[in-house]
Structure 1
Amino acid sequence: MQKKSAVEKRLDWLHDQWVEFAQKPQARLLRWVVEPDEVRMVEAWLKKEGDEQAGECPDLFLRFDVPFEQPEAYGFALREALLSLVEESGEQVPVGDPKPGQSGTAAFLSACSALQRQYADDFEVLALVLVPARVSSMKAWRQWLWEALDSLNSPQVRMVVLDDAEARVLEPMAQQEAQRVWTAVAALDVLGALREVAQQAGQSNVPGARYRELLALLAGAAQRGDLMQVQRLGNEAVDVASAEGWHALTVAAHWAVAGSLLVAGKPQNAAERYQQAEAAAAEAEAGGQAHGAELRLKTRLALGSALIAGQQLSSAALVYEDTVPLARKLTDSHLELECWRMASFCHESLRALDEAWATGQQAWALGQTLESRARATSTLPYVAETLVRLSFARQGADAARRMESEADSLLGQDWRTHLQASGGQTT
């Protein structure tokens, strides 16, 4: 039998923790306590289990990254996300409409129960993995989970959440409800895994093995904050990948270094790395590789963020505007809208109000062409807020009211509930 890799062994640990939770009849909420460097591995396991072919558990995992911004709206937003998943699957599931006066939490869990009943013969547990992209208030988040926990009556529908090992926001819940809230400490020893991967890869002279070794060592150096080592290892990984013509892996190595530089507060150096990554992505695109254009698009968005972090707002605005044709070529309306929105953000920050208005209007016009569900998951509410603000600055209160009325018509009068309290930069 082939020996399992360090990563495979840790995925098995997560599998065992889930099985232990799933076998507890009173448990409803799995609180996975994770270190920051363990999140990606837990997410990888959840993604694997969410795949019909790769998953090993007899359970269905549905992942929801809907931002938690307004407690009363969160459940309804989750319900919409669930309906979108069902629609994408092409299945017909009679989830019904929310009852008059029903809370968003109850409406979401009722729809989940209907889905579970529909497929009761196909899977044992419906696991609702809640990983909000943003949380406006940890206290409100915990209160929402309390409400949801009280509504989870069937052991066939359960929730999974990640709790930061340092903050331990859900500790009070776990102490008060030890049977219904089951705590699993991931304890994946990611650095140990990286050392194992590097040691195993170092035993081979094959370029792919050497590249994996370098990336593992780079991740360890990043954890220690050793920037000189990060850049040295990154350069060597780039050399290995470039020599083999692996453009995507060249891009990945540049991204790894750039990310470490950003965390270390060196946005200008990070921007230079992203520019090198874009050059590698452009080579892939020129060579006819299907992923080349997508890599270049994502790299340019990352470059824009690095330029903003370095207060190079004029350059960032130009990057975003010049990226629009690429997003359009890939028919990625969400990212095209983001390009216009972020260009507007940069211009407004520079007090170039006419340019901010023009680019904001481009985002608004594009948002109007989206289908209602696509619009609901876009950043169009931020565009609306920006345009209301710009209308007031450029033409006064009447113009701002007209723009607000237009936003109410398109997005509904509660559109501001979808805004992040801090105002919302990107991407």
Structure 2
Amino acid sequence: MSSAAPVRNPVEKRMARLHDLWWERTDDASLRAVVLRLPPDSQRMLDAFFALQMVDSDYATPDLFLRLDAAYETGYRYSRELRQAMIETVAHNRPQLAKQGVAGPWEEEHASGRDSAAGFVDTGLSLARHLRRQRLSVVLQPGGVSDVACFERWLDAAMQAPVPPQDAGLLRLVLVDDSDSRAWQPLVERHAGIVRVVDAPLDILEAAREIAAQAGGGAGGAALFRQLHADMLMLLRRGDAAAVEATAERAARLATRNGWSDQRAVLDVMVGGAWLQARDFARSVARYRQARAAAAEATQAGNPMGPMLLMQGWMAEGGAWAAAGDMKQSAQAFEQAGETARRIPNSLFAVEGRRAAAQAWLGAGERDRAWASALAGVREARAMAGADRPNSTVPQLLQDMLAMQDPRRCERIAQCATAYEREARAALVEADLAGHRLGPHPPPAAIAAIEAQLVQRYELLFQGQLREREQLVQGGEEVFRTVVAMGREWLDPAWSGLPHVKHPLDLSPGEWRESPAFARLPDPQPFVEAA
């Protein structure tokens, strides 16, 4: 084993420790997969480790790491996309590979029948051989997983795929786990002996604290303040509200001495959150109010973060009152948050403040005030850039308004979407299993037939739910239909409430196999302008 070079800072220390652990735990030709288990919220530290593997550094291991984030929909499609990513990687790096003496053609580029876990393993082994028997560690972090059981079946198949004895150890899969959830532990147990866990010492909060501690006193105690802030984050993770508050008091004295009123506001919000987590609502609200006082000082001093911190203090107080069950005070706090955001101006939070206030008023039994707050949210949404609305809480605001008008109809519309998603998922699982049953080297024509059948099933299910939801929309009162019309103008031409159902192939209405049979809805403009 080659130990990493002497280290200089806490991050390097963790990189070196993981480097050494990788050597110790994975230098075994029998391994088929490695599970990297991380502390919570430490993905960025792992990203840094992987980045160091791409360059000539003291922390590089003998492995060539290839990170693939293709989403898992079906096994055959996932295998195809992973293989294509490998091919593209080789093509992109061909000039550099030629300088390293890897100049010949890679025979795998034009192979067929690889749309399976075994086909992916064959491709990976072929790539390792092409790279002059370079050990390849493929990091799988799918951008999404359609069905966990299907993905696990694919992984099981990859673990069981045959590997020629002379190629043992050339290819390993790397899966990233969370030390709290330990999601991949069942896989480790199913494949004991060929899957190994590496507990990565990459706690980002501990590293941040050590960095602050090593920074020295600094002018005005800035380094000590950073250290105390890092301590608070660690204590928050542990759920020790009293310790968070005690540490915050020390940090607040530093902030007061240096005139850092914005940082005092941040500290108070953190303490308020700790007491909220402990369900001590009175202390939580008191701290959020202190945060607003500090934010007001920062605003008066010309600090550009002051108004945002003031708004966040109101939002946090609204949430605390809601958790305590006092919906009237929650509504009033959320209204103040919305108004503060409007003055910043920040349309995203202005909408959310009014939307949250509407829900709180509704919870307090004051429907008229709830509707008035919702209309105020519509006024804020009207001023928002069109591209921002779909990614804001505007969809939820409109859904809340529909529910205020006709909750039973909203429920039935949502049930249509839920039924569609359930049946579409069942069709996907069926296609996944059909592909799996074709064996390790499925004929391309058979895979194409499964794909075509799945697309046809998707289309039938999508059109069916579209018709059902449209009938329900058209049966609503005028205000209900007007709010839907607003959603279709602001969000998506096929919007009918939440959950929103997109075309399964992400096609726009003009590209659908069947033209959408949408009936005419009221013009939303007079409603929007009168809001």
- Which residue in 1 is equivalent to 2:352? 338
Distance 2:482 2:34 in 1: 44
Q: CA deviation at 1:240?
A: 0.8
- Which residue in 2 is equivalent to 1:256? 270
Q: 2:92 aligns with which of 120, 125, 137?
A: 120
CA pair 195-338 structure 1, distance change in 2 beyond 3 A: closer
Give the alignment's TM-score, normalised by structure 1: 0.63
Distance 1:125 1:359 in 2: 54
CA pair 329-24 structure 1, distance change in 2 beyond 3 A: farther
Q: CA deviation at 1:257?
A: 1.8
SS of corresponding position for 1:417 = coil
Q: 1:163 aligns with which of 178, 184, 187?
A: 178
Tell me, yes or no, if the aligned pair for 1:32 and 1:185 is still in contact at 8 Å: yes
- Which residue in 2 is equivalent to 1:417? 499
Distance 1:363 1:22 in 2: 56
Q: In the alignment, is residue 398 of structure 1 matched against residue 476 of structure 2?
A: yes
CA pair 17-44 structure 1, distance change in 2 beyond 3 A: farther
- Which residue in 2 is equivalent to 1:318? 332
Q: In the alignment, is residue 39 of structure 1 matched against residue 53 of structure 2?
A: no
- Which residue in 2 is equivalent to 1:363? 377
Q: CA deviation at 1:386?
A: 1.3
How do 1:54-203 and structure 2 match up within 5 A? 56=52, 58=54, 117=88, 120-121=92-93, 142-143=148-149, 145-146=151-152, 162-165=177-180, 167-174=181-188, 184-188=198-202
Deviation string for 1:175-203 (max 9, x for gaps)?
Answer: 55799998543344678768856875798
Tell me, yes or no, if the aligned pair for 2:177 and 2:184 is still in contact at 8 Å: no
Distance 1:49 1:373 in 2: 36
Greater mean deviation of Cα atoms: 196-205 or 382-391: 196-205
Give the alignment's TM-score, normalised by structure 2: 0.52
SS of corresponding position for 1:398 = coil
SS of corresponding position for 1:39 = coil
Distance 1:317 1:62 in 2: 45
One-letter identity of the residue aligned with 1:45: M
- Which residue in 2 is equivalent to 1:10? 14
- Which residue in 2 is equivalent to 1:378? 392
Rg: which structure is higher? 2
Distance 1:173 1:149 in 2: 8
How do 1:9-28 and structure 2 match up within 5 A? 9-10=13-14, 13=17
How do 1:298-313 and structure 2 match up within 5 A? 298-313=312-327
Tell me, yes or no, if the aligned pair for 1:30 and 1:182 is still in contact at 8 Å: yes
Greater mean deviation of Cα atoms: 226-235 or 191-200: 191-200
- Which residue in 1 is equivalent to 2:368? 354
How do 1:206-285 and structure 2 match up within 5 A? 207-219=221-233, 221-222=235-236, 225-285=239-299
Tell me, yes or no, if the aligned pair for 2:206 and 2:234 is still in contact at 8 Å: no
One-letter identity of the residue aligned with 1:398: G
Deviation string for 1:270-309 (max 9, x for gaps)?
Answer: 2221222222223222222233333333333223222222
Q: CA deviation at 1:218?
A: 3.9
One-letter identity of the residue aligned with 1:309: A
SS of corresponding position for 1:386 = helix
Q: CA deviation at 1:243?
A: 0.6
Tell me, yes or no, if the aligned pair for 1:128 and 1:159 is still in contact at 8 Å: yes
One-letter identity of the residue aligned with 1:240: L
Tell me, yes or no, if the aligned pair for 2:36 and 2:197 is still in contact at 8 Å: yes
CA pair 208-356 structure 1, distance change in 2 beyond 3 A: same
- Which residue in 1 is equivalent to 2:123? none
Q: CA deviation at 1:349?
A: 0.9
Q: CA deviation at 1:387?
A: 1.2
Distance 2:405 2:280 in 1: 35
- Which residue in 2 is equivalent to 1:425? none
CA pair 212-22 structure 1, distance change in 2 beyond 3 A: same
Distance 1:46 1:142 in 2: 23
Tell me, yes or no, if the aligned pair for 1:327 and 1:336 is still in contact at 8 Å: yes
Distance 1:8 1:249 in 2: 29
Distance 1:363 1:125 in 2: 50
- Which residue in 2 is equivalent to 1:290? 304
Deviation string for 1:391-416 (max 9, x for gaps)?
Answer: 12699973375257436634434753
Distance 2:300 2:393 in 1: 32
Aligned length: 368
Q: Pairwise CA RMSD of aligned residues?
A: 5.4
Q: CA deviation at 1:159?
A: 9.2
CA pair 46-130 structure 1, distance change in 2 beyond 3 A: farther
Distance 1:24 1:407 in 2: 61
Greater mean deviation of Cα atoms: 263-272 or 292-301: 292-301
- Which residue in 2 is equivalent to 1:327? 341
Distance 2:375 2:353 in 1: 12
Q: CA deviation at 1:344?
A: 1.2
CA pair 227-46 structure 1, distance change in 2 beyond 3 A: same
CA pair 60-247 structure 1, distance change in 2 beyond 3 A: farther
Percent sequence identity over aligned pairs: 24
Q: CA deviation at 1:208?
A: 2.2
One-letter identity of the residue aligned with 2:376: Q
Q: CA deviation at 1:342?
A: 0.8
SS of corresponding position for 1:390 = helix
Q: CA deviation at 1:352?
A: 1.2
